[in-house]
Structure 1
Amino acid sequence: MSLSGNKVIQTLVVLVAIIIAMFAIEIHSEKVDDVDGFANSSQPLKDRFRINYIDDSENQLSLSQIVKLPSGMYADSNQTLHSPESLIFSVWYKITLKHDSDVLSEPFNVTVDNPTLDTITFYLMDGDRMLQTKKIGDTVYLKNNFLHVIPQTNIHHGMQHNQVLYIHIETNGASGTPIIIEPIDKSQLRSSAQLMLLGCFIGVVLIMIIYNFVMFRGIGDPSYFNYIGYIAFAGLAIGLINGFAFYVFPFEAAKWMNKHLMLTHFTGLTFALTFAISFLRFDKIKPWFVNLGMVASKVILVFALSGLYFTEATLTPFYFAAVLFVYIYVLSLMAMVLNARLMWVRYYLLSWLPLFLGVGIGIAAFNGGVSYSFLTRNAALLGVLAEISIMAIALMDRFRANEVDKEYRINHDSVTGLPNKTALESALQKLINGKKSFTLVLFEIPEANNLIPSLGKEISDEFFIQLFNNVEDYADGLTSVYEFENNLENETFHLARVGDACFTLVFVGDLSDDALSYNFLAIQEAVSTFISVNRAAISVSCHAGVVSYPHDTLDKENLLTLAFQALLGSKKNQHGWARYEQQKTENIKKRFELAAELQTAIDSDDLELFHQPQINIETGAVFGSELLLRWNHNELGYVSPERIVSIAEETGTINHLTEWVITQGLSQHAKLYKLGFEHTISINISSKDLTDNGLVAHVLTTVAENLIPPESVVFELTESATLDEPDAAKALITELHQQGFKIVIDDFGTGYSSLDYLSQLPFYALKIDRRFMNLDKSPSNRTITEMAIMLGRRLGVSVVAEGVETQDAADILKTLSCSLVQGYLYAKPMAFIDYMRWLQKKP
């Protein structure tokens, strides 16, 4: 179910038009009555009666006693209105024809225009003889509910000079009691207008309750819920005050609600206060002031519940005190947000004017402060109605403002107020749709990843605000730079923040590399300007990635991603910025596609392990073998092990690949052991495996399943890997060593590692890299190899030389006392079946 804002306004306009029509009829009727009077007299009817009263709150006089009282004991209501000393009172009214007035032969109506009175008893007397009597009021059951709304009686046979109409009023908690004497047709017209007015009012209240309920369910804003409570209880209170509740509820229920009328008054006031707080939600409202209002609302709610136990007369002074507090509090709230330029705030302020005016006039009308009429009698109701109507507009405008604010938050950075990634993408799409060429420049501040966050969020935010203000000032002076749409403060920006450390500029039109360099230097100068934060001067740097559309790419959906790719290249560029190159992206894409195929190959066991023997150079005996990966790709053919490992490391597949090698390699090693070949097997570990917490557990499980002695398993770790992750490398090597496995430092001599660090690692052997194996041609490589062998001997570890391909190199290694060698001179890497056959044939 839904109600659009326009439909609500249209409905309210129709109801207001009906109300205006009713007032026009009522005013016209009053003018006709004032001029014509009754048929037998030109004198207005209301001027032909004398209305006197006597307060009987203490003595409780009976009718027989009242009849005998002399006229001098009564007060003239035309001169002095009845003003009870308390809200619990009893009063007798005596109505007679004036001596100079003609006798009335036509019927007329007498209305006690206060539906909140408990009991009203009419006595039409002729001396001691009772001619007519009627008892009504909100504690009296009546078949005609109309009399609860318009307490009245008809004098059917007119009135003689010797006849007297006595009206006895007994009540608890009511105010003044206007007496209206008028022709029956005029009374019927006034009564119909009163009922229509109440009906329209209840209709407006119900429409607003439904509308605000739909809004509350739709967006969950507590303002709508609080407003529902306010108008619901305000409508109920006015319905009770005007006797309309007897039309809606059973008599006993309406009677109970009238008895506990202050319950609705206080509850409505509670919702009015909480609505004001939630509706005027501004940062300018101090938290302590909001808390004060919330505490006050709870106190008022306690008074509301006390309405179940205390009388209306007892609670009324507290109610007016609470009303005064709420008015002062809400006016203070208004003062805090008075300078807001939002229309819904102004509508809210405006809605209070008819409320104040209507309530004031209504109270004054019942107490003689202003002339009593249909308009003044219903001033409070009309004031509430006007307030609800204006607030309907305010709530709709607030909803519109919330949507604008929501859209603003979606498109702007919360810290700096700059356009964000969403706004940037919209701007790029707008340029593309306009068939305009442009260049997107993405800037990154490297210090923002470590230095700035260490300052704390508040200082960090302050830094970025100043930084981007500096950049904005510079960007404003650059030519052809794109200007984003105005924000809520009517400000324009040229840059967008797309990350904590990243921002962008868009240059419209074709831009040469020279122009780009000039612009980059300008922005770089703005970024590097010293910023004073927390009494410290901070300066940062930046680099940039550039992509031009459609010059560099036609991929309009991923321009920011392409700029990020170019940004990666800028970190290695001496100019500080790099342009996107489509060929590089295609290469990256192919590598990721190959990575996906590699994952499939691992899962399908489509990879192979080749064995390259390691030979004892003195005896020629096989000491062990190193496992080498092979992948026969359907399209690419054999993919090199280096490429396989590189792709696996880049895409996060390396841990899975290493586990596969360990599982397959140790299974093959177990078969060789069963055949009597008690050699070692060497498995390479990547630097990315050092942080794999499950690696050691997988190794131990696989060794146990294959019944392999741990000392026959060798793990090779490159020297550079130990440099990349020294702590992780030391921890892994130590744990594997403690479990009985052997460790080899691979590619020794290429990593420039600290000998002090290497000496702390429990490794079994050093492996000299193949690049040094041209010993017979390079004296320097021979010297390096000799030093490595001597170092191994001093450290008490073996030395393995890989990549031995010539006999001259082998002879030199033998001269240098190198214990183990591997290379094409002895055997090429072989598939497992071929390796077993080779072993069986070897003497």
Structure 2
Amino acid sequence: MSTTDTEFAAVATSPRGKGQGINSVPVRFGLIALGLGTVCGIGQALIWHGDSNRPTPLLVVVSIFTLIVLAQAAVTYFAAWKLTQNIKALRDGTEAIAAGDFDAPINVECACEVGVLADSFHKLVSRLNANLRRINMLAHSDALTGLPNRAVMTHMLESLVATGMPGTAIFIDLQGFKKINDAFGYRVGDQLLQDVGRRIAKVGFDREIEQFDWGVSSFGEFERRAPQDITLARFAADQFVALLPGVVDADHCERHAKAVLQALSLLFDVGGAEIRLTAHIGLARVPLDTRDPAEILRFAELAMAAAKQERKPWRFFNAALSDVAVDRSRLESELQQAIERGEVQLHYQPQLDSRSLQIVGFEALARWSHPTRGTISPAVFIPLAEQSGLMPALGAHVLRSAVRQCAQWQRQGRRQRVAINISATQFDDPHFVRDALSVIAECGADPALIEFEITESMAMSDLPESHQNLIFLREAGVQIAIDDFGTGFSNLALLARLPFTTLKIDRSLIEGIGWSPKGEVLVKTIIAMAEGLGHSIVAEGVETPDQRAWLDDKGCHVHQGFLFARPMPAEEIDEWEQRRDLDGMIGHLRSLAAASLSERKPRASLALISSAG
């Protein structure tokens, strides 16, 4: 019991003599009536008894006036008692509300001022109930979906463990929601989350939102008891968590997981947009996996991440995942230290004009050479930075390093564009444009030689701030490239209005050249669209001569890929260029020699024919 509850109980159970004995209103009014009646009665009795015309016996006079006085006192006592009963009804109602019973009846039938007070009290209670319901809704429910929130889920898990009850936590993570949000806007995204919450509740768990166990009293306080039914909460932006009390059987848990996935697979119609969702699910069980309430959620989330990585719809937690989590935590700490020490280096991959093989620019790519683990793939540490909140620091380090290198090349006479990948976290920062332009000015780089690459989903965001940021960057002279184009949800009407300078065709589309006719149609369409809008176009991931020839034939001449060069440190670029020039010269001489030889062979044959004749 809390301190507040203890204080209330002490006040409620210790009246300290109030309303009792001489402190009772009926007793006081009865005594007052008795005293006044006695004084008046004695005076009247003396007058009657002294009347010389009709003397009355003193005993008779005293008896009559005693009865009159007692009757007056009794009537006064009864009237005061009746009034105080109504007051007690109001008091009982107040104490019931203080104890959390907001539905306790208040029976006051009186047309007097107390009745008016009771009516006002009824209005006060009604308003109080409405306000408390609103407060409870805000405190314990998600404002968007109306589901229980994270605090409720945490309390229910703690109650489950405290009461020794088994159960299963189901962690549900929606896939691709951010792309949908960026493509259709936040209003559609919010409505979609509301529909998702209702559908998971109805189809996945066969319940209305109000039927879930919230674990709170009518007063809005968490109850200390075992969970009595399923709880479904919105845990984060596009993540939901369900708690199945008393359920640990794998088949039973899998049935719920399948039901949730089935609910999400059905088409959503939101504002005229037809959307289909998928999800990954992780399951952790009490006490099989842990008895720690905090670990239950962490283990369920780890299982979900493993399901995503293994491309499975759901996965149960096991001890091996915990080892992975420990290693991931250690790697996260080491990445933070590497960023702080400047150990994350940049490699630069050339972008070339395929006709002249002249370098037109470079893309700066982060590389991490770990002292004991060796080279760690960007596919590992970039998502790790995003999920652990290190992306702002990593992005700032990459931006400053790339701009500094561009300025250094500029001073050396190499005026070639440097493309820098910008993360969504950086781009969403309200100070990003100011900070980025400050870095460019501080390093002394020409803004026209700096190109910021943003993803297609970031470019398609309908936030006015995002579009304004692009306009500010372009007005400052910075180039804007839309990276990985062709893999997201593009709003072509919005695309035509965006102030970008370059489209980069995603490597997944380039890989389809030569064997995917539909993929080739898409690439040709993107090339034609870029030319029509007056923008440059870059093909990334070019790895074969056939891809290069096909792209050249379709009018895309700026290529980036392993066919030409792998990413390399800045200090190796000069050597690579010299080697490339030498290889090009040798190749050119070989082609001349081959052409000369081919021209001589027919003449020799003709000479032999002539001599034979």
Shorter-chain TM band: 0.5 to 0.7
Determine the C-alpha separation between the residues in 2 that align with 1:21 and 1:734. Answer: 83
- 1:161-181 CA-to-partner distances (Å, cap 9, x unmatched) read 52579xxxxxxxxxxxxxx95
In the other structure, the counterpart of 1:7 is 14
**Number of corresponding residues:** 498
In the other structure, the counterpart of 1:677 is 413
Matched, 1:579 2:289: no
Determine the C-alpha separation between the residues in 2 that align with 1:691 and 1:408. Answer: 30
Determine the C-alpha separation between the residues in 2 that align with 1:738 and 1:569. Answer: 44
Cα contact 1:8–1:211 (8 A) shared by 2? no
- 1:249-279 CA-to-partner distances (Å, cap 9, x unmatched) read xxxxxxxxxxxxxxxx976553233124445
- 1:558-596 CA-to-partner distances (Å, cap 9, x unmatched) read 424543554566678887533234544654565466456
- In structure 1, give the amino acid aligned to 2:168: T
Tell me how far 1:158 sits from its aligned partner: 7.3
2:569 to 829, 832, 835: 829
In the other structure, the counterpart of 2:49 is 159
Matched, 1:506 2:244: yes
In the other structure, the counterpart of 1:330 is none
Determine the C-alpha separation between the residues in 2 that align with 1:161 and 1:469. Answer: 95
Tell me how far 1:519 sits from its aligned partner: 5.9
Query: Which runs of no fewer than 5 residues in structure 2 stay unpaired?
Result: 1-6, 182-186, 219-226, 268-275, 485-503, 510-522, 583-613
Could you say if the C-alpha distance between residues 468 and 707 of structure 1 is closer, same or farther in structure 2, counting changes exceeding 3 Å?
closer
Tell me how far 1:407 sits from its aligned partner: 10
- 1:437-480 CA-to-partner distances (Å, cap 9, x unmatched) read 54344678999x999975999x99998886688459xx9xxxxx
Tell me how far 1:750 sits from its aligned partner: 0.9
In the other structure, the counterpart of 1:755 is 527
- In structure 2, give the amino acid aligned to 1:6: T
Matched, 1:766 2:538: yes
Cα contact 1:436–1:509 (8 A) shared by 2? no
Tell me how far 1:203 sits from its aligned partner: 14
Which residues of 2 match residues 576-725 of structure 1 at below 5 A? 576-584=313-321, 587=324, 590-591=327-328, 594-595=331-332, 598-599=335-336, 602=339, 605=342, 607-609=344-346, 627-631=364-368, 636=373, 639-641=376-378, 643-674=380-411, 676-680=412-416, 682-686=418-422, 688=424, 694-711=431-448, 713-715=449-451, 717=453, 722-725=455-458
CA RMSD of aligned residues (A): 7.0
TM-score, normalised relative to structure 2: 0.55
Determine the C-alpha separation between the residues in 2 that align with 1:593 and 1:790. Answer: 50
Matched, 1:786 2:524: no
Determine the C-alpha separation between the residues in 1 that align with 2:355 and 2:142. Answer: 72
- In structure 1, give the amino acid aligned to 2:548: T
Higher relative contact order structure (alpha carbons within 8 Å, sequence separation ≥ 6): 2
Q: 3-state SS of the aligned residue for 2:382?
A: helix
- 1:684-706 CA-to-partner distances (Å, cap 9, x unmatched) read 21453555565444443333344
1:272 to 99, 106, 118: 118
In the other structure, the counterpart of 2:492 is none
Determine the C-alpha separation between the residues in 1 that align with 2:140 and 2:472. Answer: 52
In the other structure, the counterpart of 2:232 is 497
- 1:770-803 CA-to-partner distances (Å, cap 9, x unmatched) read x61xxxxxxxx22102223444xx35x5x35544
Could you say if the C-alpha distance between residues 470 and 593 of structure 1 is closer, same or farther in structure 2, counting changes exceeding 3 Å?
same
Tell me how far 1:597 sits from its aligned partner: 5.4
Tell me how far 1:634 sits from its aligned partner: 6.4
Cα contact 1:544–1:576 (8 A) shared by 2? yes
Determine the C-alpha separation between the residues in 1 that align with 2:127 and 2:33. Answer: 40
Which residues of 2 match residues 112-131 of structure 1 at below 5 A? none
Could you say if the C-alpha distance between residues 507 and 680 of structure 1 is closer, same or farther in structure 2, counting changes exceeding 3 Å?
same
Cα contact 1:703–1:710 (8 A) shared by 2? yes
The more displaced of 610-619 and 562-571 is 610-619
Cα contact 2:166–2:287 (8 A) shared by 1? yes
Q: 3-state SS of the aligned residue for 1:8?
A: coil
Cα contact 1:442–1:505 (8 A) shared by 2? no
Determine the C-alpha separation between the residues in 1 that align with 2:278 and 2:575. Answer: 63
In the other structure, the counterpart of 1:439 is 168
Could you say if the C-alpha distance between residues 625 and 189 of structure 1 is closer, same or farther in structure 2, counting changes exceeding 3 Å?
same
Could you say if the C-alpha distance between residues 15 and 651 of structure 1 is closer, same or farther in structure 2, counting changes exceeding 3 Å?
same
Query: Which runs of no fewer than 5 residues in structure 1 stay unpaired?
Result: 27-112, 116-145, 166-179, 235-264, 288-401, 476-481, 531-538, 773-780, 805-820
Could you say if the C-alpha distance between residues 605 and 429 of structure 1 is closer, same or farther in structure 2, counting changes exceeding 3 Å?
closer
Cα contact 1:602–1:660 (8 A) shared by 2? yes
TM-score, normalised relative to structure 1: 0.42
Cα contact 1:484–1:493 (8 A) shared by 2? no
- In structure 2, give the amino acid aligned to 1:715: E
Q: 3-state SS of the aligned residue for 2:14?
A: helix
In the other structure, the counterpart of 1:727 is 460
Q: 3-state SS of the aligned residue for 1:563?
A: helix
Determine the C-alpha separation between the residues in 1 that align with 2:355 and 2:527. Answer: 28
Could you say if the C-alpha distance between residues 619 and 605 of structure 1 is closer, same or farther in structure 2, counting changes exceeding 3 Å?
same
The structure with the largest alpha-carbon Rg is 1
Cα contact 2:19–2:25 (8 A) shared by 1? no
Cα contact 1:802–1:823 (8 A) shared by 2? yes
Which residues of 2 match residues 9-158 of structure 1 at below 5 A? 12=19, 147=36, 151-154=40-43, 155=45
